[in-house]
Chain A
Amino acid sequence: SQQGEEDPQALSIQEGENATMNCSYKTSINNLQWYRQNSGRGLVHLILIRSNEREKHSGRLRVTLDTSKKSSSLLITASRAADTASYFCATDANDYKLSFGAGTTVTVRA
């Protein structure tokens, strides 16, 4: 079973708009990570936020973490066609594995 639940399952936006996706998880975590996957290929790490951090930025990405609500959000600003992909949150509970959510499929329309 998966640790995380992501919302929405799919998202379609216009180029230049922002995309926001949410992740909820069940257990205490060490850190939470976001990954991107293009069409059945390998996953690419985007950003890691530790349990004692509340917000983190990387380029056009902004991640928030609320450990009291066991939830995180990923914001992609000024989206581009190249951002079309599936996005996964993954949690580390200090047990040598990541537990992945079901993913959000983002389509950016030109």
Chain B
Amino acid sequence: KAGVTQTPRYLIKTRGQQVTLSCSPISGHRSVSWYQQTPGQGLQFLFEYFSETQRNKGNFPGRFSGRQFSNSRSEMNVSTLELGDSALYLCASSVDRSYTGELFFGEGSRLTVL
């Protein structure tokens, strides 16, 4: 079974630009979550989607948005990039349950903002 796939793996952008990151969950997994990891703030929750519905959102500005498609694939978008958005963005999928079980993480998309 293929794991969680994130694309692109690495990207460099300049301040003010926007970026779209993509995540393909494990087949059969309907829940997709996104996390931002930085040396200063650690792992911070961005959002969680199930069946195209956002069920929870972290404490990030409106420049951060996401969506999930009917095939469970997900994208996140960051507009008007700032230097502080440089981070490893991790996507994770799981089998939907009433509580959060084991998350399966992708290798991440490493974003550098210059």
Residues of A within 8 A of B (CB): 2, 30-31, 33, 35, 40-45, 48, 88, 90, 92, 94-103
Contact = CB atoms under 8 A, between A and B. Distances in A.
A101 B92 CA distance: 17
B99 A30 contact: yes
A98 B103 contact: yes
B64 interface: no
A102 B44 CA distance: 10
A31 B102 CA distance: 10
Contacts of B15: none
Contact of B108 (A31, A41, A94, A100): A41
Contacts of A44: 105
B19 interface: no
Contact of A45 (B31, B55, B103): B103
B48 A96 contact: yes
A80 B107 CA distance: 23
A45 B104 contact: yes
Given A42-B90, A42-B107, A42-B108, A97 B100 contact: yes
13 contacts: A30-B99, A31-B99, A31-B101, A33-B103, A41-B107, A42-B107, A43-B92, A45-B103, A92-B99, A92-B100, A96-B31, A96-B33, A96-B55
B102 A43 contact: no
A30 B100 contact: yes
Contacts of B106: 42
B102 A45 contact: yes
Given A99-B45, A102-B42, A94 B102 contact: no
B99 A43 contact: no
B43 interface: yes
Given A30-B99, A33-B103, A96-B56, 19 more contacts: A2-B42, A2-B43, A35-B103, A41-B107, A42-B90, A42-B106, A42-B107, A43-B105, A45-B104, A88-B43, A94-B99, A96-B33, A96-B48, A97-B56, A98-B33, A98-B45, A98-B103, A101-B42, A102-B42
